[in-house]
Amino acid sequence: MTLPGGTGPLPHHDGSALHAPGRADLGAEIRLRLRVPAGWGQASKVWLRSIHDGEPRYDPARALGEADGWVWWEAATAVTNPVARYRFLLEVPAGAAGEDDADGAGTGAEAGGSLRYWSLNAQGLFSRDVSDYADFRLTTFRPGPEWLRRGTMYQIFPDRFARSASALGPARQVPDWAVPCSWDDTPVEGAGPQTPYQYYGGDLRGITERLDHIQALGADVIYLTPFFPARSNHRYDAATFSCVDPLLGGDEALVELVEAAHALGLRVMGDLTANHSGAAHEWFRRALADPASEEAGYYYFNAEHTEYEAWYGVPSLPKLNWASRGLREKFVLDDDSPVARWLRPPFNLDGWRIDVGNMTGRLGGTDLNQDVARLIADRVRSINPDAALLAEATNDAAPDFSGEHWHGAMTYSNFTRPLWSWLAGDARHVNFFGTPLPGPNRTGAEDFLATHLDLASAFSWDVRRQNMNALNSHDTARAATAMIDGGQRLGALLMFTLPGVPVLFAGDEFGLTGDNGEFSRTPMPWNDPGRIPADLRADYAALSALRREQPALTDGGVRWLYAHGDVLAFVRETAQSAVLVVVARAGAGVRLAPGALADTQLAALGQPPAYATARVSVTLSPDTATEAETDTDRETGTGQAPELEASTAQIRADGAGRSALICTLGPAAAAWVLPGTRVPAPQS
């Protein structure tokens, strides 16, 4: 496989409007575009290889013309199946393509012929045959709501976010299971018998009182972890789905929160455990007491009714049996079911995140996962077609996420995990996503990109745009702990600019730390500035604004320009505008090859970046007679472009006699707004 950052720009296609129609109706004819850089090699023929009823078909493409150093091709095919899978096959004279023999095939005469064939799929460019797994995908499914694709999500763990005035009064209730804690003085226990029972007393009205904080960050989707009564601080062990935990303020507090959020233009999503209930749940208590009860069929018991299946064997989390018709009615289909009730007035939630969606409906030889996903999705959309439905799948999520049922995944595999590895600091004490490993390996940018493409390529473009991109969550260590100093700011730019929904976990804006998911659930430091390691509120607000104001970051394709060692560079692009993103974890020297950016885009680099974490200078080639310099380090800034040193990161782009030299001193991340990508005018 050939990755960007070697010999120059590579043939490119993605699911954005520059190249594909997005979704299509079954039976419709669609037109798909490929572009080939003139400097890479002159393709003599191009075919679209698509799968129809399981069998590949090859349709010839026609050349559309050239624009800004790219030759564009277009091919038509029919959408035969709900998921249309395809790739491109290119015929190029051997030795003409800008190849570095990465596949060991050789070129020219020693390859045994005068022509060479290349395959382009969502994973990359290959000079050998590859599996259909990473083919591009276009579906007939209705995409998720626009507000989800364009939104910035803010995750809240209610017990640790904020306490309202009523929660602080003398009448405050402390449940019998709880270990009461002082908000600012009691340390969170990351492991131990008291960990799930530490009770700090955050409530829903506390969130309502802090909506201005969330809005100021630019977040417009609030994701609440569970709010049902339970016997733990995390509430994933629901004792009932019929009411809001009185400790959080009860039903009335949820109504107030959603109404106040909606008045500000914010959405609110809940968190539902479809894989298990709590052992204290009314259903499970009846099931345990009476083997002949309907509820006994909601769970998995042995023949003697003395043992039951539970999530990872945890007794407090008995697993639900989705073969039960009664469970399907109670959980999904009934008017007062948890799936339905909370989406309706007076609660009006805007959607659900389904906990451990990858395990739901699966046990041994039984696999009802997609059946349950279909059941829940159909019910959600019958109530509110504009509701969002996401599901957790922490590993390789693509096989379960075609876009037909779940809109997107809360997954760590294609973004969070490779990002932690690329930005890894001294993290041997950090839990690496539940593995037995002592923290992440520190890898190069090429490994980040290869892993990202491996695990993102099998999603359709719509699903990629609707997946949750998080630096961390309530189930992981904090990015500030796992990454190099300042790494959270570098990662945040990638989170906001790569395809997907950026997700802040409450406390990220204060640079909170934590070695594992429990340590990460630190109460917010509202009253104690001394507990704020790094105030990043301005960064997150600026990144939210950039993503909101630049359509390329929500609608544009992604084209990787460089990925090697310490530097990642890519461009998000539409016909109207583009955004160039460069992230360097350390000093580095790198040259972008001719044609990486068009002349008009190079010229736009004469303006300061729209966002930068550190001092960045841009010097254009002499024929433009332009120099732009920005300084985001007010304490050390001199207002002058830095001298180039061995430790200075350098990026050079050349096109039609122009070049741009971008210089940073040390780790830095920056984004520039550029003109859009030109497509050849249609030919009759």
> Which sign does the torsion angle of CA 60, 62, 67, 71 carry?
positive
Quickly count: other Cβ atoms within 10 Å of residue 546's Cβ.
19
Kindly report, residue by residue over 377-388, the tens digit of the pLDDT.
999 999 999 999
Cβ burial of 526 (10 Å; 0-12, 13-18, 19+) is middle
Reading the block at residue 598, the tokens are 């068009």
Domain with CATH 2.60.120 in the chain: 556-675
Catalytic residue among 14, 271, 355, 515: 355
Q: Provide CATH code, domain 556-675.
A: 2.60.120
> Which sign does the torsion angle of CA 460, 592, 641, 648 carry?
positive
pTM here is 0.93
Our answer to whether residue 392 is catalytic in this structure is yes
Domain with CATH 2.60.40.10 in the chain: 29-139
Looking at residue 638, what is its pLDDT?
29
Cα angle for residues 572, 392, 311 (degrees, 5° grid): 160
Phi first, then psi: what are they for 102, rounded to 5°? -60, -25
Catalytic residue among 251, 271, 350, 392: 392
- The CATH number for 29-139, chosen from 3.40.50.920, 1.20.120.1230, 1.20.210.10, 2.60.40.10, is 2.60.40.10
Our answer to whether residue 335 is catalytic in this structure is no
Kindly report, residue by residue over 266-323, the tens digit of the pLDDT.
999 999 999 999 999 999 999 999 999 999 999 999 999 999 999 999 999 999 999 9
Q: Can you list the residues of the chain whose pLDDT is less than 70? A: 4-7, 95-114, 169-172, 589-593, 619-664, 682-684
